[in-house]
Structure 1
Amino acid sequence: MICFALLAHEDEGALRQQIKNIRKYNPKDAFIVFYNGGPDRDFGKKVCREENVLYCPYSKPLTQRSSGRFFYDVMRWLEERKIRYEYLVYLEYDIMFVGRGFREMLESRMKGYDCLLKFVKKETDPQKATWDPAKLMWAEWKDWRPFFHLDHFFRTSSPMSVYRHGIVRKMLAGINRGQIERLFRSTHIRCLGEMIYVTLAKKYGARCLDHRNSDLRYLRFRPELTLREVQDAKRRPDVMFVHPVKNRAVMKWIWEH
């Protein structure tokens, strides 16, 4: 069973359409947990009630500096509620599905693996760090090293990251809740979620698989995908999702097709 953890912060119409998009291309037993990262505390609640989507009560207003806690909040709430799933998938508002077969792909490709991620890189030397968020992690390493109990960390790209429930349990069991809450309050690290979860997973022995090259053309940070690229992606049977899609005209085309 797939659980989609969905982070969004504005535009309830787009949120409703994204939920319908997820459901159209995925099995009926897949379910969604919505996390409201915006300042409006009521955002998404009506949509969740009407679309039968779980609303994460730990939702908080997030910034780029604080968005790293989203996945942790969803993980621990699912565990506290004893909600069963096999795969936990990281979704944001600008991810859309364009083809079927996602569960079949997970079951086939993740045999023997705990995570499906993008570009996992090990960071071992602050002098060799080239990515700005990794430099920020090294700048705060005196605070984070006691949390990880490691002399290094890993980084990846969060959108469409997939973690098996088994490795999520190990990660949560090893987290000191008071310690991580203090770190979330004090950190100035951007893109924290792209380092903390893969590092914890690797710490507890996770076997991580990279997304296929065919996925990466349509799973990127920038620039946002054009309509022509999305149309090309939909014609390809090996492409199931696209990111980032932020243009309303492109979103509308996906919803209509």
Structure 2
Amino acid sequence: MICFALLAHKDEEALLQQVRNIREYNPNDTLIVLYNGGNDPDFGKAVCKSENVLYCTSSRPLQAGKTGRFFYDVMAWLEEAHISYEYLVYTESDVMFINHGFKDLLEQLMNGYDCLVEAVKVEMYPDKSNWTTAMRMWKEWHLWKPFFRSEFFYGTFNPMQVYRRRIVKRMLRRINKSHLERLLDKTGVISMGEMLYLTIAMQCGAKCQEYPRMYRKYFRYRPFISLDEVKDAKRLPEAIFAHPIKDHSVRAWISSSQTTKDTEGHS
């Protein structure tokens, strides 16, 4: 069972397109949990009801760039609700699937591993860091060091991090909730999710795998994925997902290509 933890905060139409996109390319044994990071408490509830999506009741408004707690909230909520899954996937509103094969890829790459990420970075020396996100963490390291109980931390790219439930359980046991809450209330670190989860997992003894380069061709921070790129990606079986997709025309084309495929498949 794959559980997609989906962070979104606005645009019901885009949310509906994304939910249906996840279902199209992951049709079997799939759960989707929506975390509403916006200010409208009703955002996404209609989509959840119509599309059989779980709504995380721990959702709360999040500031831009400071969305790192979302994955922790979903992890804890799933455990409290006794919801079973094998893989938990960190998914954001600007990720969409392009081709099938994600489940097969997980089973291949996660064989003998506890987590799967874009790349593993190790931050050991603040004066040698050239990663903006980590540099902000180093500035607050006097606050975070007692929480991590470590001299260094790990980092990766937020979207499409994958963790087995067995390692999630160990991570939750290690996390001091009240300590984490105090830190999250006052931190100035952005993209906390790029460091928090991988570091805790590694401290719990996780074996971590990286996505091979061939699967990351259309997976990056900037610039946004263009329509031409998505059309090119569609022709490559290894281009399973893409990020960041911000343009409505790109979303519409992906959704249309799904519909076309479904129509052709049933003709």
TM-score by length of 1: 0.98
Write out per-residue CA displacement over residues 4-62 of structure 1, whole angstroms, 9 at most, x where no aligned residue: 00001110011011101100010332010000011111110111111110000011111
After TM superposition, the structure 1 = structure 2 runs for residues 101-180 of structure 1, keeping only pairs within 5 Å, are 101-180=101-180
After TM superposition, the structure 1 = structure 2 runs for residues 21-100 of structure 1, keeping only pairs within 5 Å, are 21-100=21-100
Report the CA distance between 1:104 and its aligned residue: 1.0
Aligned residue pairs total 257
Query: What is the CA–CA distance in structure 2 between the aligned matches of 1:97 and 1:135, rounded to whole Å?
Result: 32
Query: What is the CA–CA distance in structure 2 between the aligned matches of 1:5 and 1:157, rounded to whole Å?
Result: 15
Q: Per the alignment, in what secondary structure is the counterpart of residue 163 of structure 1?
A: strand
Contact 2:118 2:210 in 1 (8 A): yes
Amino acid at match of 1:218: Y
Aligned to 1:246: 246
Contact 1:64 1:191 in 2 (8 A): no
* Aligned-residue identity in percent: 53
Query: What is the CA–CA distance in structure 2 between the aligned matches of 1:65 and 1:183, rounded to whole Å?
Result: 16
Amino acid at match of 1:75: M
Deviation >6 Å, runs of 4+: none
Q: Per the alignment, in what secondary structure is the counterpart of residue 236 of structure 1?
A: coil
Write out per-residue CA displacement over residues 64-94 of structure 1, whole angstroms, 9 at most, x where no aligned residue: 3531100000000001111100000011111
Query: What is the CA–CA distance in structure 2 between the aligned matches of 1:109 and 1:193, rounded to whole Å?
Result: 22
Unaligned 5+ residue runs, structure 1?
none
Q: Per the alignment, in what secondary structure is the counterpart of residue 18 of structure 1?
A: helix
Query: What is the CA–CA distance in structure 2 between the aligned matches of 1:140 and 1:177, rounded to whole Å?
Result: 19
Amino acid at match of 1:188: G
Q: Per the alignment, in what secondary structure is the counterpart of residue 130 of structure 1?
A: coil
After TM superposition, the structure 1 = structure 2 runs for residues 205-220 of structure 1, keeping only pairs within 5 Å, are 205-220=205-220
Aligned to 1:8: 8
TM-score by length of 2: 0.94
Query: What is the CA–CA distance in structure 2 between the aligned matches of 1:64 and 1:247, rounded to whole Å?
Result: 18
Unaligned 5+ residue runs, structure 2?
258-267
